[in-house]
Structure 1
Amino acid sequence: MSASPNLIEQSFELVASRCADLTPLIYQRLFNERPETRAMFRSQGSELVMGSMLALTIEAILDFAGERRGHFRLIACEVVSHDGYGTPRELFIAFFAVIRDTLRDLLGDERSAEMAQAWDALLAEIEVFAGIAA
């Protein structure tokens, strides 16, 4: 496998080689950092919802950071959908930072300064795209 020139994609590729399922790590961090989010998931069957939500989010992140073929539009759609659930936009965006931070921890020394900058720039761009920041 050759490394992707896209640093966001590369970070996911590196993590995939050491972690088969990010779902429990991502949601444990989310619930620790934002305890109010735990109540947003039903008690029965939430693992499937969380796994699906994470998979769609990763797909949207990769498309947003890459060729933007259409999957990235899910971000804007879900902002509106989560508005309907009463989810504050800042909380919606926090999920992306949780993903970044979980990958950062898993990558350890393999995470380059350039990769960190790419993630920070991506999150700032997603905030603008989602109508959080100007």
Structure 2
Amino acid sequence: MTLRRLQPPGWPVPKGYANGMVGQGRVVLVGGQVGWDAEGRFPAGLVAQVEQALRNILAVLAEAGGGPEHIGRLTWYVTDIAEYRDSLAALGPAYRGVMGRHFPAMTLVQVAALVEPEARVEIEATAILPD
């Protein structure tokens, strides 16, 4: 089973994400992961926290036997949209370093705060694994 991107005819092709994904199998829901390591330490900066949050998602997903190719949706919550925009050049390589060239449907929103005061980002994932 593989996920398939959904791209309506005539729509511009999005860069770095998909408009939608479709697949069939076991659904894995990964709660919002922040960018701390196994000891609860946060690296400095948004890009490093994004990398760690994505690694954390993959660690949880691996418990179900999945990998990045099974992720159908990511929802990102950032505390500073300007910081996110200013970091785009570095975020692309950081994302690909963890997720490869898999770009699921994604949403990113700014929030006033996250539960962990040091967190700059929290990311949740929906994955579909083969039966």
Place the TM-score, normalised by the shorter chain, in its bin: 0.3 to 0.5
| Structure with the bigger percentage of helix | 1
Larger RCO: 1 or 2 (CA < 8 Å, sep 6+) = 2
TM-score (norm 2): 0.32
Tell me which protein shows more strand as a share of its residues. 2
